Amino acid sequence: MRALGVLLSLCIITIPITGAVPIVEVFVDENTPSVEVIPESVFSGVLNEEMELVIWYTDSNHSLHISAANERAEDLNAKNGDIFIQGIYWNKSSENIPNHLESIHLEMDVKQNNDGSVTLEAKNTLENELEQTVVLQWLLLKKIVPVSEHPIGPTESNVVCYHAWDSNINRTKGAENQWIHQIEKETMTSWNIGDEDLIAVASLISLDSKEIHGAGSSEIIFQPVEENGKNIAISMILVFSGIIGSILVIQSETKRQQDMPIIRPLIMNKSKKGDEFTEYFIEITTKNAAIREITIEGNGFWRCSNHEIPQEISPKTSKKIKIRKTEKGGEITPCTIRLEVDGHERWILDVVFPESNLDKKKDAEES
């Protein structure tokens, strides 16, 4: 029981991911979320722990961005939406996932110290010699994090939130390497990392080819400190409930991302008998779930005829709903759309048309 008490006195529980798995890097921003670019086969591989997903958030003005995201993107000449496996570009539209990827397995361990700092440890015995430009990279990933302030807005998973290098490596065949990296509590705070679930990743990367030669990871599940021996049983229940809850949250979020439709404004310039005019639409593209009970509110600037709104849109279907500006004009406001998504709560979204296009059209009408 004393040993158990020492274990539960730590604020962190680690779940090492065993076996060598390839690293899948995806470059995204708020306008290009990972759910829109990652194929189902990759999602399945991540859930089955056959791959380790690493999301680089490249929008420099967003709170999820770190400078290392741009550095890695520049190293790989990556654009938003690009996917790399072991540092090699993968064309998801024309290539199957490589099934003969070699990766050196790094054994990972994570500990939290009494002062709140975190110690990352990785070790490996090299079966073959490494090239001299290979170094070790440390990453911390946020398991699930919102990308907007909307209460039911989208989320991202496995987003890189911390980055560091270690060049102290014995690269000769048979060498036993052990790396230790400590992150102080103040450092984690400065990187916008709180008491939240994380994934620690260590990887061997070539500074020449930028390819990944090996990796290891360990999940970090933070729990409150429990020092009272009488509450050990309760603490264990909470810990395992947290683990199960995290799995359920990931599964639920994955299903939500696969079901939620893509809704976007659409502006089409047309001409008829020499007269040019502009039409405005709300385009709805459904995914795995049907939607129904659609209502659109113009908020004083837009209007939409009820016969333009379908009663239901089937899964994997695209539909354009035409809307019009009111005669009143006035301040440009978003269009509010409400709808039911099968298996989910009612969804409310403000659709904003680019003001520059509307301003030009408005000036033309006034002149």
70 and 167 in a single domain? The answer is: yes
**Interval 211-218 mean pLDDT:** 94
Residue with tokens 């050196």: 104
Domain endpoint, select from 258, 279, 311: 258
Domain that holds residue 43: 2-258
Question: Is the same domain home to 30 and 152?
Answer: yes
CATH code of the domain in which 116 resides: 2.60.40.10
Is pLDDT above 90 for 184? yes
Measured CA to CA, the distance from residue 75 to residue 110 in angstroms comes to 28
The yes-or-no verdict on residue 25 having pLDDT over 90 is: yes
Q: Which two tokens stand for residue 71?
A: 């550095």
Q: pLDDT for 33-46, tens place per residue? A: 888 888 888 888 88
Q: What is the pTM of this model?
A: 0.57
Residue partners of 364: CB distance under 8 A and separation at least 6: none
Tokens coding 254? 């994955």
- Asked if 224 and 280 sit in the same domain, the reply is no
Whether the pLDDT of residue 10 is over 60: the answer is no
Nearest Cα to Cα of residue 128 among 108, 107, 104:
104
User: In whole angstroms, what is the distance from residue 76 CA to residue 79 CA?
Assistant: 9
Q: Are residues 85 and 183 in the same domain?
A: yes
Q: What's the pLDDT tens digit per position in 127-145?
A: 999 999 999 999 999 998 8
In the chain, % of residues over pLDDT 90 = 34
pLDDT of residue 204: 96
CATH number at residue 361: 2.60.40
3-state SS of 223-282? CCCCCCHHHHHHHHHHHHHHHHHHHHHHHHHHHHHHHCCEEEEEEEEEEECCEEEEEEEE
In the DSSP assignment, the letter for residue 97 is: P
CA distances from 123 to 135, 149, 180, 250, 333 (A): 13, 40, 9, 29, 57
Bridge pairing between strands 83-85 and 88-89: antiparallel
Q: Are residues 180 and 128 part of one domain?
A: yes
Residue ranges in the chain assigned as alpha helix (H): 2-8, 40-47, 67-76, 185-190, 232-259, 355-366
> How far apart are alpha carbons 139 and 215 in whole angstroms?
11
Taking 60 as the threshold, does the pLDDT of residue 364 lie above it? no
pLDDT band for 239, please (50, 70, 90 cuts).
confident
- Using the 3D structure, point to which of 258, 282, 308 is the last residue of a domain: 258
